[in-house]
Chain A
């Protein structure tokens, strides 16, 4: 807990960065809502999806994306490149725990920031109330955990290559699309939706947000949550495996 507190304090050290974290989702949801309004072109519904559901979907997915884009890969890369990872490994706490607490501290900080984002979303997109609050919260939590696992897998690459070389950017671009944060799965062609459905990314954003707007409802919601659960177990096991071997082969840079 003390460690979490420390990491949380750290997140507030740079004011400008925090401002960016608030502005980015605001801009994203305003733009996306505008684009979808233009796409609907005066129609109140398309393929059985009402406009307000669509704008709620994009606003909410912008907020989920905000909660999930944390600086973990940068942090790990910086620590490994500068050899600071040595100092982290000298603490009586596993590296894995430290990284997870870092993510938790970021998500808490961003939940606080949402206070500023939600009113903007309400004004621009006309947020609807959740179709099912319970399943949504469960799915949102699981989605965040799956995302953390994915980030940890990607961050671990640094232990082998000692650099990310733009991989973080590539990851965000690809996962932004595959998670359904930009375009919901129901608007994608069948074959693409099939591929995406077989990947873990859609479980991070699409599943909770689609449950929120009611596109996945009733029994299907719990089924989707079950799929999330399976992904979480698989990915968590993979993370444990990869990070253990990463710690064994770590090269602490510098003399």
Chain B
């Protein structure tokens, strides 16, 4: 039986049409003028213990709404959700003990107080035994290199520091499940890498089940074996990473900068964009090898600079959008 399971999960938001003018807030209170949007529209999936799953989709696809229902802070409109034998929205506090949650866009730490105070309180709230607390705290402070700033008020931390603090806070009480909602958003390369390493470690060593939402394809490549792709509240794809990329984004792009603008035409590649002296060529690496293509272009034209780009998640999603079909 899966550890996390949803069946035909639906969440509709009824939103009052905004009012303008005087006493808008008061008038809104008595208004019955609703508009309904379906953020999650019949989502089914099962996730086994120990999996590390990427939950992806464009902005507004319903990712965060799903995560919020898994955590119990949103009540589903219909359908079922069971996490480790608990219906989250019905038994929110019991569910809270099983899960760690990190929202990249906002913190769960106490804004005005030193980081260590938040840790201490979380230890108390979740009734972590003192010995375990000390061991975990030391482990996380070392792993995430937090010793320089544990005594700093959270509001003075950099985004990367705060994120590390949030991760540690979510794992102090050793929950078997970890939800990460865009944990690397806005971070620099080094901070991202440190956080990815930490997540990979947790999953490998403690067997923590992780659901990760992100827009960063590197996060996915580095961490996830399985992907759930969602759009307009529906699951579009559920499976491994590589087949998805091959299916939806088989092309690489070669950008060449020419000494003087010219019409570029090479076999096996298609010009997709031209801008001043730069030309973008799209090619299928299964048909044309990148090295061969570069040699050919260099021989035919006066190339001053070039680069090859891998497809990223945005390409995959864009392609899926364009094709609009469910695999």
User: Which residues of A approach B to under 8 Å, CB–CB?
Assistant: 2-3, 5-6, 9-10, 13-14, 82-87, 89-94, 157, 160-161, 163-167, 248-252, 254-255
The reply to whether B106 and A10 contact each other, CB–CB distance below 8 Å, is no
Known: A9-B113, A94-B93, A166-B25. A255 touches B73 (CB 8 A): no
**Pairwise interchain contact B73-A91, C-beta atoms closer than 8 A:** no
Mark B87-110 against chain A: 1 for CB-CB distance below 8 A, else 0.
Answer: 001001110110101010111101
CB of B29 within 8 A of CB of A160, answer yes
Residues of A within 8 A of B64 (CB): 254-255
Interface check B282, CB cutoff 8 A: no
Q: Determine how close the nearest CB of chain B comes to the CB of A123; give it in whole angstroms.
A: 35
Q: Which of A13, A82, A90 contacts B71 (CB 8 A)?
A: A90
Chain B residues near A6 (CB, 8 Å)? Answer: 110, 113, 117, 121
Q: Is the contact region of chain A dominated by helix, strand, or loop, or is it mixed?
A: loop
CB–CB B96/A91 < 8 A: yes
The answer to whether the Cβ of B232 comes within 8 Å of any Cβ in the partner chain is: no
Complex interface residues of chain B between 63 and 98 (CB less than 8 A to chain A): 63-64, 68, 71-75, 89, 92-94, 96-97
B97 close to A92 (CB less than 8 A): yes
User: Contacts A2-B124, A161-B25, A161-B29 known; A86 to B110 CB distance under 8 Å?
Assistant: no
Q: Which residue of B lies closest to A93 (CB)?
A: B125
Query: Which residue of A10, A13, A87, A92 has the most chain B CB atoms within 10 A of its CB atom?
Result: A92
Instruction: Tell me whether B126 is interfacial, beta carbon within 8 Å.
Output: yes
Whether the Cβ atoms of A89 and B72 lie closer than 8 Å is yes
**In the complex the two chains form, is A90's CB within 8 Å of B75's CB?**
no
Residues of B near A82 (CB, < 8 A) are 106
Name the residue on B nearest A255 (C-beta): B64
| Complex partner residue of B74 from A5, A10, A165, A250, CB under 8 angstroms | A250
A90: chain B residues at CB < 8 Å are: 71-73, 96, 99, 101, 108
Tell me whether B73 and A9 are in contact (CB under 8 A): no
Verify A163–B73 contact, CB threshold 8 A.
Answer: no
Name 27 interchain pairs, CB-CB below 8 A, sorted by A: A2-B121, A2-B124, A2-B125, A3-B121, A6-B113, A6-B117, A6-B121, A9-B113, A83-B106, A86-B68, A87-B103, A87-B106, A87-B107, A90-B73, A90-B96, A90-B99, A92-B93, A92-B94, A92-B126, A93-B125, A157-B29, A165-B26, A248-B75, A251-B74, A252-B74, A254-B64, A255-B59
* In the bound complex, CA of A84 to CA of B124 (Å): 21
> Residue on A with the closest CB to B99?
A90
Known: A94-B93, A165-B25. A255 touches B105 (CB 8 A): yes
- Judged by a CB distance under 8 angstroms, whether B13 is at the interface is yes
Q: Is the CB of B25 within 8 A of A164?
A: yes
Contact of A13 with B125 in the complex, beta carbons under 8 Å? no
Q: How far is the CA of A63 from the CA of B108 in the complex (A)?
A: 34
| Residue B28, interface by CB 8 Å | yes
In this complex, the member of A5, A86, A87, A167 whose beta carbon has the largest number of chain B beta carbons within 10 angstroms is A86
Is the beta-carbon distance between A3 and B68 smaller than 8 angstroms? no
Nearest opposing residue in chain B for A251, CB measure: B13
Q: Determine which residue in A9, A89, A92, A255 has the highest number of CB atoms from chain B within 10 A of its CB, and name it.
A: A255
Q: A157-B29, A161-B28 are in contact. List 13 more A-B contacts (CB 8 A).
A: A9-B113, A13-B113, A82-B106, A86-B71, A86-B103, A87-B103, A89-B73, A90-B73, A90-B101, A91-B125, A161-B29, A254-B64, A255-B105
Q: Mark B114-154, 1 if CB is under 8 A from A, else 0.
A: 00010011001110000000000000000000000000010
Looking across the interface, which residue of chain A has its beta carbon closest to that of B63? Answer: A255
- Closest chain B residue to A249 by CB distance? B75
A91 smallest CB distance to B (angstroms): 6
B205 in the interface (beta carbon within 8 A)? no
Q: Indicate the member of A2, A89, A157, A248 with the most B CB atoms within 10 Å.
A: A89
Q: How far is the CB of B10 from chain A (nearest CB, A)?
A: 16
Q: Does B60 contact A (CB under 8 A)?
A: yes
Q: Which residue of B lies closest to A86 (CB)?
A: B73
Contacts of B107 in A (CB 8 A): 87
Q: Are B24 and A9 in contact (CB under 8 A)?
A: no
Chain A nearest Cβ from B107, distance in angstroms: 7
Which residues does chain A contribute within 8 Å of B125, judged by CB atoms?
2-3, 91-93
Interface membership of B112, Cβ < 8 A: yes
A166 CA to B24 CA in the complex, in Å? 10
Establish whether residues A254 and B106, one from each chain, have CB atoms under 8 Å apart when the complex forms: yes
Q: Give the residues in chain A near B126, CB-CB below 8 Å.
A: 92
Closest to B166 in A: A87
For the complex, what is the distance from the CA of A165 to the CA of B124, rounded to whole Å? 36
Mark B2-45 against chain A: 1 for CB-CB distance below 8 A, else 0.
Answer: 00000000000100100000011110110000000000000000
Nearest Cβ in chain A — how far from B98, in angstroms?
10
Tell me, rounded to whole Å, the shortest Cβ–Cβ distance linking B125 to chain A: 6
Which residue of B has the minimal Cβ distance to A167? B25
Give Cα A161–Cα B108 distance, bound, in whole angstroms: 24
Residue of B nearest to A157 (CB): B29
A83 CA / B64 CA spacing, docked (Å): 12
Which chain A residues border B68 with CB–CB below 8 Å? 86, 252
A131 to B16, CA, bound (A): 53
What distance in Å separates the Cβ of A194 from its nearest Cβ neighbour in chain B? 27
Residues in A neighbouring B93, C-beta threshold 8 A: 92-94
Query: What is the CB-to-nearest-CB distance from B32 to chain A, in angstroms, rounded to a whole number?
Result: 12
